[in-house]
């Protein structure tokens, strides 16, 4: 686990100390912030492989911290939300805010370590200009994609949606996340996303035996390698 840099944002001292000591003992490089604003400042000043983020912070909510991390940091770090809020609604809200993973308290330290390690590998995968998922190849710099060696003729908008799916792989990306990433505040109509998902599937899935773009009921969409 050498050289995996973790930012831990947690205001409960006992939990922070336990997590910090454990991850450091496992070979991670760990920085610690006790407030949301401090965490944001540290994340903007240094690249982290994973941000472990509590939701209940004393100054600003973890949801707001997560949104700002995703908007302001370059490169964008994966975010693991660490919280006692364990309802499906809470988890959906977290993923819509941009969380990459979600672990509820109480938690096992070994599971936390394994999830951080997995997220760090995904960040390395996504940092490369070209990403390969199954037989789908996506080049973010050239804005091109191919499947099984066949070039995919995608519009700019369809490619942006595909890129959002790639960046979230293997997790789902919510409809709201796609809308914010592709259209920002200028989303024209609720049927536009549905139309683009249809045309994207016509290119990515229809000519091939296996469909890769899956609908996750109540959440959004994900790629299946």
Torsion on CA atoms 180, 105, 125, 151, rounded to nearest 10 = -50
Statement to judge: residues 16 and 117 lie in one domain: yes
Statement to judge: residues 152 and 186 lie in one domain: yes
| Bridge-based pairing state of the strands 150-151 and 144-147 | antiparallel
Q: What is the pLDDT of residues 23-81, one digit of tens each?
A: 999 999 999 999 999 999 999 888 899 999 998 899 999 999 999 998 888 778 899 99
Q: What does pLDDT average to over the chain?
A: 88
Q: What is the pLDDT of residues 188-208, one digit of tens each?
A: 666 899 999 999 999 999 999
Q: Is the pLDDT of residue 11 over 70?
A: yes
Question: Could you give the strand order of the β-sheet that contains 130-133, starting from the edge strand earlier in sequence?
Answer: 130-133, 136-139, 144-147, 150-151
- CA 19 from chain centre, in angstroms, equals 21
Per-residue pLDDT, averaged over 183-189, amounts to: 73
Domains identified in the chain, total number: 2
Whole-angstrom CA distances from 99 to 18, 48, 222 are 23, 15, 14
Per-residue pLDDT, averaged over 136-162, amounts to: 91
**Confidence band, pLDDT 50/70/90 cuts, at residue 20:** very high
Report the CATH number that the domain containing residue 143 is assigned in CATH. Answer: 1.10.10.10
Statement to judge: residues 11 and 33 lie in one domain: yes
What single-letter DSSP state applies at residue 56?
A: -
pLDDT higher for 193 or 124? 193
Distance CA(172)–CA(165), nearest Å, equals 7
Statement to judge: residues 115 and 144 lie in one domain: no
- Residue 80, class by beta-carbon neighbours within 10 Å (0-12 exposed, 13-18 middle, 19+ buried)? buried
Q: Is the pLDDT of residue 126 over 70?
A: no
Statement to judge: residues 119 and 213 lie in one domain: no
Residue 111: its pLDDT value, please?
Answer: 94
Residue 43: its pLDDT value, please?
Answer: 92
Domain C-terminal end among 103, 127, 151: 127
Q: What is the pLDDT of residues 96-119, one digit of tens each?
A: 888 889 898 889 999 999 999 988
**Confidence band, pLDDT 50/70/90 cuts, at residue 127:** low
Per-residue pLDDT, averaged over 73-90, amounts to: 82
């Amino acid at each position: 686990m050498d050289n995996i840099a973790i930012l831990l944002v947690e205001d409960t001292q006992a939990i922070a100390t336990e997590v910090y000591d454990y991850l450091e003992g496992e070979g991670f490089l760990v920085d610690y912030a006790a407030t949301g604003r401090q965490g944001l400042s540290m994340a903007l000043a240094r690249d982290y492989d994973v941000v472990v983020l509590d939701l209940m912070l004393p100054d600003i909510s973890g949801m707001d911290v997560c949104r700002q991390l995703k908007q302001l940091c370059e490169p964008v770090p994966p975010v693991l939300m660490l919280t006692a809020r364990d309802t499906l609604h809470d988890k959906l809200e977290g993923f819509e805010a941009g969380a990459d993973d979600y672990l509820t308290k109480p938690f096992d330290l070994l599971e936390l370590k394994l999830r951080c390690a997995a997220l760090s590998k995904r960040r390395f995968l996504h940092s490369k200009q070209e990403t390969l998922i199954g037989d789908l190849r996506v080049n973010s710099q050239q804005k091109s994609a191919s499947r099984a060696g066949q070039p995919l003729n995608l519009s700019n908008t369809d490619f942006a949606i595909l890129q959002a799916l790639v960046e979230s792989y293997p997790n789902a990306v919510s409809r709201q996340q796609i809308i914010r990433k592709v259209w920002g505040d200028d989303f024209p109509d609720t049927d536009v996303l549905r139309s683009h998902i249809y045309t994207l599937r016509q290119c990515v899935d229809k000519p091939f035996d296996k469909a890769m773009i899956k609908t996750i009921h109540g959440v959004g969409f994900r790629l299946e390698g």
